Structure 1
Amino acid sequence: MLKNKFKILAVAMSLTFVGSLFVGCGNSKSGTSSNGKSTIKVNIGAEPRTIDPGLNNSVEGAQVICNAFEGLTNLDKNEKPIPGVAEKWDISSNGLTYTFHLRKNAKWSDGKAVTAKDFEYAWKRALNPKTASQYAYQLFYLKNGEAYNEGKSKEDQVGVTAKDDYTLVATLENPTPYFLSLTSFPTYDPVRKDAVEKNPTSWATKPDTYISDGPYKLVEYKSKDSLNFEKNSDYWNSKNIKIDRIEFKTLENASSYYAAFKTGELDLIDKPPATETPNLLKNGTAKAYPYLATYYYDMNLSPQAKSINPDAAKALSDIRVRKALNLAIDRTSITKEVTKSGEIPATSFVPKGTSDSNGEEFTNKEYLPKTADIPQAKKLLAEAGYPGGKGFPQMEILYNTMQGHQNIAQAIQDMWKKNLGINVTLKNVERKVHLAQLQNHQFMLGRDGWTADYNDAMTFLDMFTTGNGNNMTGYSNTKYDQLIAQAKAEPDKAKRASLMHQAEDQLMIDLPIIPIYYYTEVVCMNPKLKDAHISNLGFFIFRDAHLDK
């Protein structure tokens, strides 16, 4: 009873907060601000840690970048690569050399021409080990890309060259069937050398220095509030951009941003409160979109774990403990009773709907049960020296601020207590802190999620290779590394798919992670907002969007 009363009070407080938050922001209810410009307000769920294309590795940052920048290619509404800055390209018969021909009318937001040199600089910058880009591995497809990143090759040996201002030549290590899709990904976006190097640590935080080449340019950066963009009049296709202004709001509390949507102060939100979602889907206020993404927990297997909690590190180093923690979770219960948005219990890591690049769906195995296997979980925990949970060290689940994450963490906390007799505590931090602690391995159990960068199983598997910037677990297995390397070098699609399956087999034997569910993307959108592209890669793309009068 007290919980229900508190919830009502919290919603009332959030409505008051939202009302004060948007005072003076213009009339979003009509899709038009007071100055007559068509404006939409989009919630991205948290303030991005960075909106630097070469450094970002979060969905929040990507939501902004994909509207501010444009790569060699764009994705159409079927997620297929189409011309972007490159108006055409040639591919060599062996699939190793791509020659991109850039538009001569492509310009930066300050009016200067976008050139092939801007792409060459951006790609080599992301690969440079001094940059410390956690997405550097996404450019290892380039000839000598990985070698340069590891200090084993020189910059001028990397397989990307500006032949002239409007011709970029990319040479790959191996044929890569999804390379054109990769060139639409933020890490492959161009950045201007003069803008970056003049303000290397702050260029992506100020409108005067955040020079971009896409449909929108930054005009205001209000920390902990919003990132505001306006139409880039110098964009080569600006005449077809119909939305004049986008305000990316950074509300993390689901009750708050849902309340703002209901009052018309937000035009687009995703992940509405779980208690509201079934009715929102039923009455058409919300829509579930395809989404290639997995929600999971990391287990810290890195050397740093011992300095944080030696006893917990010892327990997690035992594969029987990791498997017991996995088996003690009722994933079906979480999706039906906690998240309630049509999610699918995750019995593997690569989600349903992901391609194997051989014309088939990759996910065809169930490594974990959809409901808890309590007897087996108890047996494994006892074999590891913790019968009935006795002597099991105290651990903490780290998650970022959002009611949904808290609800899931509480459900898992209860399941582990009931099913295994172990106690874990919960730690809630803001998104920037959460990302930093995951990346620095300053946790024992951490909430995580991964969205595909392109539609191929490799995007879910290669990040668990040793030393990968997005491998938050610190997991390292030589056999796994070799399988991923072989798959990337294998030209035969069937053999490549087989190698990737073997890699996932190994990952799910070692279990450095706790897969929980495959996402759905539930979005509430102003019915006046038309042709916004809700990508299955997690992006909201407004290049073709318009407001219905």
Structure 2
Amino acid sequence: MGVKKVITVLTVITIFTMLPTLLAGCGKSSDTGQTLRYVLEAEPATLDPAKSTAIPESLVELQLFEGLTRLNTQDQPVPGVAEKWDVSPDGLKYVFYLRNAAKWTNGDPVTAYDFEFAWKRALSPELASENAYMLFPVKNAQAYNEKKVTADQVGIKAINDHTLEVTLDKPTAYFLSLTAFHAFYPVNKKIVTASPDKWSAEVATLVGNGPFKITGWVHSSKIEFAKNDHYWDATAVKLAKMEWPISDSQSTRLSLVENNQADMMVEPPVVEHDRLTQAGLLKISPYLGIYYYVFNTQQAPFDNVKVRQAFSQSINREALVNNVVKGGKKPAYAWVAPGLSFDGKDFRDESNNYATENKAQAQKLLAEAGYPAGQGLPPITLLFNTGEMHKSIAEAIQEMWKQNLGVTVALSNQESKVFLESRSQGTFQIARASWIGDYADPMAFMDVFTDPGNDAKYHNSSYNKLIEKAQSTLDQPVRLTAMHEAEKLLFDDAVIIPIYYTTQPFVVKPSVKGYFWSVLGLADFKTAYIEK
């Protein structure tokens, strides 16, 4: 996922669930000695839920933490730490009632004060969390994050150990879904206060409240988990342990599974897809996301909209997907991914596509910008994070720019942690990016490019006003019109180059059962087991 998270009104959609869930009383699942081996695709940059921004971190955190709600197999919120809640008739006040049985992995009770501390910490200007604005529906949350009010004026209040009262700025129909997101996870106030900068980096202090606890972490090598016996729903957890080797190499991850050193991995090399399908090992899960390139709109030469438009119009997505990407992916000609239905019609109807491909027009635009046939352009570098697929895509697009524009673009790769920092700080000209919706609504994409803090360094007051309009009403036709207009602005301004809409190819042994792979990109192993 990208660097910034988003806010919206939840629209319920029906999601086709491809993966089975564990049924009560399933015979072989009671084996408490079971171990699941999943190959993680990158070293987590952090396991602090308030700070993490990418899928590998979120995937680990989902096993270690739990919010007030947890998503079920239809990606809808169900009770987590909160066993129930009340909502005021005007939709502005939520009162959550926490389970008496909810405990941290060290045996401490999980309290409403932990939630209040965690949420206000994520919002604090001092922490500078890139996820802070996920909490902006809360009353005065944004004002506190911007140093306009104090923390005690934020609408988050622990009434007692087991009661949390949350007041919103405006009715937010998707709020319960947000409370399942990692920025809303609680953290152990006592532990974090004692070691605010290091608690999440060491096994001894990484105290969670989810179905598993971390027992080992050899950085850039492996993460080990054990069942959390203090978890309130521990009887549903069938695995005794999980062992997650770490590799950013697709080939290495696949070899680990095929050599019986692991049970599951994501994104096998494209050249292996046909063979893996025939062997019954390849699965493809729905995935609400997009792979794209983002311009730094403040860095030359991409501070010129015509240069951005020229680069955007000079690629061939169909050829790229068919020959390089594969994996069931679909070429992307807009920003919001398909799969979001409103009154029987997908938001991503083809009539609302905005990206165009036109070599002659691209050359004309580049000339109008003062760079005919690329002459006079400053050196340009495309930045991507280490990965075989990222490299293959970058090389293919590099050649398209050479052939269609006469422009030579250098390629640069960085390991994930450094790459994310480069994106965040704006130390790039054009960079690889991807975005996975955090909940099922177009606003899960649209709010990414509002001010402040988007990594395109894009500032457009008209865009911001359209997003604000869509966020401030529950009138669906008004919301949808505003979001479509805003999406068109993104392409008029050529902020991004959409490349393809994602799916999630993965390899899993047939014996692995009971897991759930969310359309939002995360695998939940709470009820997983190994069938013997």
Compute the TM-score of the two structures, normalised by the length of structure 2: 0.92
Q: Secondary structure at the match of 1:450?
A: strand
Q: How does 1:33-44 map to 2 (within 5 A)?
A: 37-44=33-40
- Other-structure match for 1:410: 395
Q: Are 1:457 and 2:442 an aligned pair? A: yes
Identity of aligned residues (%): 41
Specify the code of the residue in structure 2 equivalent to 1:514: I
CA RMSD, aligned part only? 1.6
Change (3 A) 1:89 1:531: same
For 1:169 and 1:494, how far apart are their aligned partners in 2?
32
Q: Look up the match of 1:93.
A: 89
Shift of 1:499: 1.5
User: What pairs up with 1:209-224 in 2 under 5 angstroms?
Assistant: 209-224=205-220
Of 323, 328, 335, 2:309 maps to 323
Residue 359 of structure 1: CA displacement?
6.7
Could you tell me how far 1:283 is from its partner in structure 2? 4.3
1: CA distance between counterparts of 2:136 and 2:491? 25
**CA distance in structure 1 between the aligned counterparts of 2:507 and 2:76, rounded to whole angstroms:** 25
Amino acid at match of 1:366: N
Q: Which residue of 1 aligns with 2:380?
A: 395
Task: Write the distance in 1 (CA, Å) between the matches of 2:36 and 2:476.
Answer: 43
**Do the aligned partners of 1:174 and 1:488 also contact (CA within 8 Å) in 2?**
no
Q: Deviations over 1:156-183 (max 9, x none)?
A: 1111111111111111112112111111
Q: Match of 1:397, SS?
A: strand
* Count, aligned residues: 502
Residue 316 of structure 2 aligns with an amino acid whose one-letter code is: D
The aligned counterpart of 1:361 is: 346
The residue number in structure 1 matching 2:24 is none
Q: 2 CA distance for matches of 1:361 and 1:137?
A: 27
Give the equivalent residue in structure 1 for 2:14.
none
- Offset at residue 424 of structure 1 (A): 0.3
Aligned residues of 2:139 and 2:167 also touching (Cα < 8 A): yes
1-structure distance, mates of 2:263, 2:81: 29
Say which of 265, 268, 271 aligns to 2:264: 268
Query: Are residues 1:342 and 2:325 paired?
Result: no
Partner of 1:384: 369
Instruction: Give the match for residue 21 of structure 2.
Output: none
Matched residue, 1:493 = 476
Q: What secondary structure is seen at the aligned counterpart in 2 of 1:291?
A: strand
Contact 2:297 2:304 in 1 (8 A): no
C-alpha distance in 2 between matches for 1:539 and 1:342 = 18
Structure 1 position 244, deviation (Å): 1.2
- Residue 283 of structure 2: SS of its match in structure 1? strand
Whether the 8 Å contact between 2:307 and 2:369 is mirrored in structure 1 is yes
Q: Which residue of 2 aligns with 1:47?
A: 43
Q: Equivalent residues in 2 for 1:70-219 (5 A)?
A: 70-219=66-215
Distance 2:481 2:111 in 1: 40
The amino acid across from 2:346 in the alignment is: E
Cα pair 1:64 1:248 within 8 Å, conserved: no
Residues 205-231 of structure 1: CA deviation (Å, up to 9, x unaligned): 112111100001111110110111110
The question of whether the paired residues in 1 share the 8 Å contact of 2:32 and 2:239 is answered with: no
Deviation at 1:360, TM superposition (A): 4.6
**For structure 2, which runs of at least 5 residues remain unmatched after alignment?**
1-27
Is 1:333 the equivalent of 2:319? yes
SS at match of 1:292: strand
Relative to structure 1, the CA distance from residue 143 to residue 70 in structure 2 (aligned partners, 3 Å threshold; closer, same or farther) is same
Tell me which residue corresponds to 1:505.
488
Tell me by how many angstroms 1:36 deviates.
8.0
Indicate if the aligned counterparts of 1:281 and 1:288 stay in contact, CA closer than 8 A.
no
Q: Which residue of 2 aligns with 1:63?
A: 59
SS of residue matched to 1:294: strand
1:240 corresponds, among 236, 239, 253, to 236
Amino acid at match of 2:369: A
Rounded to whole Å, the distance in 2 between the matches of 1:115 and 1:477 is 42
Q: Which amino acid aligns with 2:468?
A: A
Query: 1:352 is matched with which residue?
Result: 338
Runs of 4+ in 1 over 4 A off after TM superposition: none
Conserved? CA contact 1:533–1:540, under 8 Å: yes
- Give SS of 2:95's match: strand
Q: Distance in 2 between matches of 1:285 and 1:333?
A: 27
- 2:157 and 2:89 mapped to 1: Cα distance? 19
Hey, what's the Cα distance between the residues in 1 that align with 2:509 and 2:172?
39
Q: 1:360 to 1:142 in 2, by over 3 A?
A: farther
CA deviations 1:344-366 (Å, max 9, x no partner) are 1110011111356x775322211
Amino acid at match of 2:200: A
Query: Following TM superposition, by how much is the alpha carbon of 1:405 offset from its aligned partner in structure 2, in angstroms?
Result: 0.2
1:477-524 deviation digits (Å, cap 9, x = unpaired) = 111111112211112222122222221121121122111111110011
State how far apart, in whole Å, the 1-side matches of 2:359 and 2:280 are: 39
Q: Identify which range, 72-81 or 502-511, moves more after superposition.
A: 502-511
1:286 and 2:282 aligned: yes
Counterpart for residue 440 of structure 1: 425
Match of 1:541, as an amino acid? D
- CA apart distance, 1:281: 3.4
3-state DSSP of counterpart to 2:396: helix
Q: Which has the higher contact order (CA 8 A, sep 6+)?
A: 2
Report what 1:3 is aligned to. none
Match of 2:334, SS? coil
CA shift, 1:447, in A, is 0.8
SS of the residue corresponding to residue 382 of structure 1 reads helix
Residue 137 of structure 1 and its aligned partner are, at CA, apart by 0.7
Shift of 1:282: 4.9
Amino acid across the alignment from 2:353 = E
User: Is the Cα–Cα contact under 8 Å of residues 36 and 529 in structure 2 kept in the other structure?
Assistant: no
